[in-house]
Amino acid sequence: MTNDPHAGTDERWTTTGTPSAGAPPTARPAGHPHRPSGGTAGPGSLSSAAVLGRRSFLALSGAAVAVAVGASGAIAGGGTPVVANGTGRRAGALAGSLSSHPKPGGHGGPGHGASAVAFLQAAADAYPTLNTGPRLAQSYADELGLFSTAFVYDNALAILALLADGRRASLATAKALGDGLVYAQEHDPAFDDGRLRQGYNVGPYTFYDGNPQPYGFVLPDGNANIGWQFGFLGTAVGDMAWPGLALAQLYGATRERRYRDAAVRIGEWITTNTWSTKPLGGFSFGVDGADNPVPNGSTEHNIDCIAFFAILRTITRDKKWTKAAAHARAFVDRMWSRADGWFWTGTNDGIEINRSPVPLDPATWSWLALRERKYAGALDWAGRALATTDDAAAATSQLPDGERISGVTFSTASLTSTAQYNGITVHPQGVWLEGTGQLATSLADRCGRGDERSVRALLGQIRHAQDVLGVGQHLGGVEVSGGVVAASSLLDTGFGFGYFQVQHVGATSWFVFASTGTNPMRWGGLR
């Protein structure tokens, strides 16, 4: 989530603004865990980006290389709508298509889960000499080109995944990251209102314009090192709700009150700053880096709020959270298309529903947050409509020769996109491995007829990706393994940003959730 118009989740970028004089265009969330919604990604590519062959590893160099720089010709009709999430096909059909593809290599044992957890711990400890106390984990391998950026959405997922793992060392790392979120909240350089920024710097680097960023997570003056170089300064509702969930669950695991208090401050920021009184209601997107309100409303973000406020009600016994959850729920209910079996993405203005594209995460997260049978079919829609297979034989695939990986993609637009990022054409059949983990997690929690088979098939595909993709990548300059890459090949989300074949804390965390039978959005769901 990040500032993506889409939802509050992670790193989805458009090219807007320049961080400093002489710097190339940099990625700035367009509305989700990562992005301001409703913006349009500018066409173009980075002049400093190397020309890469289709088999190249996407270890892009130059300004914000792997950060989705301008998607040219992405969606018919142009424009990048505000988003939320959803899509599908019967789980049984998906399982059948997955299991029909050979999965060479050893990818079936518990060692994959241990390797994934080790990757999360490595991301948290990437700069050990600088970050000796509270810290945040670097979100992506160095090869993405975002340097030491730590997105709060990814860190929330890492905390929850480490809690799901349950080992003492994992709990210690989860607490260190939780302390990092609390520190960021209490040591913002400009605000003392409970907000978190989209992303932070956690280690030294030299930016593309030659300016050094020599510090770790904590600056010499004691402030948190906010991610100003890339413009990750805004605060999105989804990017707040997920850290709130993580801190609340961490409180449940430790009974240490500082985590509960920080979660409550996050909830109060959301309700104070984003409560929408427009016809569609719910909670609006958040604020941009200049603290200007962003009017979009995301289905995904409001689903996050339902889950978060329900847990706040449980741990505080304050009835105001029941009212807040109901406000978010009313918005989500309005986004349901019963005839289609999916959730619309959200709204750009609080008045009209944004109906295209339709993304995955409202389908998966709605089950995890609500667990209501009337919405259960959204998972089947996602498994059908967003199913895809990446085959190395395809012209735009970046898979190694002879490989095939199946799963689901990001949205309905991803399947037909011809966008280019840094001069590289996206692969319409690319698999979004974070989303594939989301679907596996949701099906495992639903536990309906055929779901177990589908989960096994999806997990097999992710394990195989874990084995063969992202080899030789680094965190803080140190080679790492065990992480799950964000996508099997470069894919376009349809919302003005893309995902790359780079090891990712978020994708790895969702793999851990699915592997452990965890529901991170429910109180008591970590086991």
**Inter-residue contact 491 to 430 (CB < 8 Å):** yes
Using CA atoms, how far apart are residues 361 and 72, in angstroms rounded to an integer? 24
- Strand 199-201 with 205-206, pairing: unpaired
Q: Tell me what pLDDT residue 111 has.
A: 86
Q: Tell me what pLDDT residue 110 has.
A: 55
Using CA atoms, how far apart are residues 237 and 251, in angstroms rounded to an integer? 21
Residue 210 token pair = 């030659």
The DSSP secondary structure of 341-394, one letter per residue, reads TEE--EESSSSSEE-SS-BSHHHHHHHHHH--GGGTHHHHHHHHHTEEEEETTS
DSSP state for residue 4 in the 8-state scheme: B
Contacts for 1 with CB less than 8 Å, ≥ 6 apart: 7, 8, 9, 10, 32, 33, 34, 151, 152, 153, 236, 238, 239, 242
Using CA atoms, how far apart are residues 366 and 373, in angstroms rounded to an integer? 11
Largest Cα–Cα separation, the chain = 58
Residue 369 token pair = 């947050």
Domain boundaries in the chain? 235-355
pTM for this structure?
Answer: 0.85
Query: Which amino acid is located at 118 in the chain?
Result: A
Using CA atoms, how far apart are residues 234 and 196, in angstroms rounded to an integer? 8
Q: How far is CA 278 from CA 274, 283, 337, 393, 478, in A?
A: 11, 10, 20, 49, 49
Question: What backbone torsions phi and psi does residue 88 show, to the nearest 5 degrees?
Answer: 175, 175
The HSE-up count of residue 83 (CA atoms within 13 Å, CB side) is 41
Query: Among 382, 334, 324, which residue's Cα sits nearest to residue 355?
Result: 334
Using CA atoms, how far apart are residues 10 and 169, in angstroms rounded to an integer? 26
Q: Which residues of 288-309 are buried (b: 16+ CB within 10 A; e: fewer)?
A: bbeeeebbbbbbbbbbbbbbbb
Contacts for 175 with CB less than 8 Å, ≥ 6 apart: 250, 254, 256
Using CA atoms, how far apart are residues 253 and 167, in angstroms rounded to an integer? 12
How do the pLDDT tens digits run along the chain, 527 residues long?
Answer: 333 434 333 333 332 222 232 332 233 232 333 332 222 222 222 222 222 222 222 222 222 333 332 222 222 222 222 222 222 222 333 433 333 333 322 223 458 999 999 999 999 999 999 999 999 999 999 999 999 999 999 999 999 999 999 999 999 999 999 999 999 999 999 999 999 999 999 999 999 999 999 999 999 999 999 999 999 999 999 999 999 999 999 999 999 999 999 999 999 999 999 999 999 999 999 999 999 999 999 999 999 999 999 999 999 999 999 999 999 999 999 999 999 999 999 999 999 999 999 999 999 999 999 999 999 999 999 999 999 999 999 999 999 999 999 999 999 999 999 999 989 999 999 999 999 999 999 999 999 999 999 999 999 999 999 999 999 999 999 999 999 999 999 999 999 999 999 999 999 999 999 999 999 999 999 87
- Strand 149-151 with 27-29, pairing: unpaired
Beta bridge partners of 487: 432
Contacts for 43 with CB less than 8 Å, ≥ 6 apart: 70, 71, 72, 73
